[in-house]
Structure 1
Amino acid sequence: MTATPTTTQPSPDDDFLRLDRQICFSLHAASRAFGGVYRVVLKDLGLTYPQYLVMLVLWERGPLPVKDLGEALRLDSGTLSPLLKRLETAGLLRRERSTRDERSVHIHLTEEGAGMREPARAVPRRIAAATGCDLQEISDLRDRLDALTRRLDEADLTSPATA
């Protein structure tokens, strides 16, 4: 005996279940597209995108404890540690245990790592050009994404969903 498929009327909520209606998928697709562009642009520097992010923070803030670096990049230590090890092996940074607190490790740029800052200055302009957006559009989009991130971080997911 074969089961007959049941036909149900589409509900208005069904439209929200379409892939092309998911903001998370649009952000995911944009992130993957950015990843492809960064892969090409960062090739000359010999960096991956996550490595580039580490270098950006260190160029901007100087030596940092691993904990602070992880917070700035929103990365946990399990993700950050192998990344730092690869950058250290490449001679771009060094890790030093704190003399005041043995549990704390500080990250310092090497001379070679600090010297990469100048050639990296071209990266943001190349990325901006690849977007096809002007600088104001990029700034506005970044501000909106930052605000979205803050709202998601603060979201009360224990309350029932409202439409």
Structure 2
Amino acid sequence: MIRTLDLVFSLLGLIIGLPVLLALYVVGLFDTGSPIFRQQRVGRYKKPFVLIKFRTMSKDTASVASHLASYSSITKFGRFLRRTKLDELPQLWNVLKGEMSLVGPRPGLFNQEQLTLEREKRGVYDVRPGITGLAQLNDIDMSTPEKLAQVDAEMMKTMSLVNYFRYIFKTVCGGGSGDRIIK
């Protein structure tokens, strides 16, 4: 049932949101010259996939988890995208392709070994990673791998249609602050 909802909502989001996506893309061209950010992430069953987002940092920023990146690498437009969570919109394509869900654990990087180990212990890789979830709404990011994996596992155990819609609604209404960035 959740996969069906993911398909419907991601397709509708991409179709209805196309003008916004195009506008953000054009502004991003002027901001960084390369508005789309692609990065290999750990997916369901630890299978790699390429996550797509709007770029919020300068092109020369090292490919590390957000909490390890410097605040100064975020562009002015990138700050706006992060604050409004509009940088996540292209991930609707990942959801449509079946690599992600709207709700699930945020996909980590393969070099985040402690997070990968903690999630593996708790069976977190048995589900599709998501655009939003319980950890994000509670401001728990990848800088605390054990706590993040615990909350991800808790979310998986309590996932229901009600929680699915609750997490989406809270995210759309501005819940959660996203990954920490060093200032």
Report TM bin, short chain. Answer: under 0.3
Higher helix share: 1
- Structure with bigger RCO (C-alpha 8 Å, 6+ apart): 2
TM-score (normalizing by structure 1)? 0.27
TM-score (normalizing by structure 2)? 0.25
